[in-house]
Amino acid sequence: MQNQIMKDVKKLLEFYQALGFEGLPINPPSPPFSKGGQGGFEKEGQGGIKEADLKSLREEIGDCKGCRLSKGRTNIVFGEGNPDTRLMFIGEAPGKKEDLQARPFVGDAGMVLTRLIEKMGFKRGDVYIANIVKCRPPMNRDPELDEIERCRGFVERQIEIINPKVIMTLGRISAQTLIGNAKLKITAIRGNFFDYKGIALMPTFHPAYLIRNPKDKWLTWGDAQKVMEKLKSKG
């Protein structure tokens, strides 16, 4: 019995270590969401319509050349996930691997994001993941304001179609864009809910930042816990 407990504790420690934590959180995650199984979302029966609307939007984007980012891209990275989800993650722009695979968050930062999603009690396919701009900026620089302005309509339409209960923005640029204030500092706003057209928006750090600053994973986990509470709440 005691051996089994020790084995379980060891496993748990290894799990948190794999996430980059140096110890156990004081408040371990409460059981995730009741409906739809372990961490899943109960289908609202609109998934088919939403999926079709997203497909139409993707067709509309086509081979978009709306800004200079079209010149260096391999693929447009539209976004992926459960169209019927209550939780969206929005980053700023695709990186090299994302550009090659036409999928959001599949590189090292994507691994950190996937771990966070799983730690929240979901599978990656339960949520929807997208970026503010759909094409990779050269040398992974930040997207520029005019590029964001050209592209933001697409992610706004994705949000409108999916209509999640909560959006978690990843990093400064996605928070500034959706909140509508280019002066906001991520360190000042993360961890606080904002309103985006009636949807709760929680800014948190970008996973790439967390790779460089693993000690701040605790802060992101705190933000994620607030999101989990919000998802469970009726309001």
Regarding 140 and contact with ligand SF4 (CB under 6 A), the answer is: no
Query: Binding residue for ligand SF4 (CB under 6 A) from 7, 65, 96, 197?
Result: 65
Our finding on whether 69 is near ligand SF4 (CB under 6 A) is yes
Pattern 168-187, binding to ligand SF4, x per CB under 6 A?
--------------------
227, HSE (Cβ side, Cα atoms, 13 Å): 31
Write down the residue that tokens 């408040």 correspond to: 27
Which residue in the set 133, 162, 175, 227 belongs to the binding site for ligand SF4 (CB under 6 A)? 133
Give the separation between CA 227 and CA 27, rounded to whole angstroms: 15
Q: Which is nearer to ligand SF4, 41 or 105 (CB)?
A: 105
Among 19, 64, 111, 211, binds ligand SF4 (CB under 6 A): 64
Residue 67 Cβ vs ligand SF4, minimum distance, rounded to whole Å: 3
Q: Is 159 exposed, middle or buried (0-12, 13-18, 19+ CB in 10 A)?
A: buried
Stretch that binds ligand SF4, among 51-59, 65-73, 155-163, 200-208 (CB under 6 A): 65-73
For ligand SF4, the closer of residues 55 and 215 by Cβ is 55
The HSE-up count of residue 35 (CA atoms within 13 Å, CB side) is: 9
Closest CA to 203 of 169, 228, 227: 169
Q: Which is nearer to ligand SF4, 69 or 175 (CB)?
A: 69
How far is the C-alpha of 158 from the C-alpha of 152, rounded, in Å? 10
105-113, 145-153, 186-194, 209-217 -> range binding ligand SF4 (CB under 6 A): 145-153
End-to-end CA distance of the chain: 43
Tokens representing 221?
């986990």
Single out the residue of 54, 109, 117, 151 in contact with ligand SF4 (rule: CB under 6 A).
151
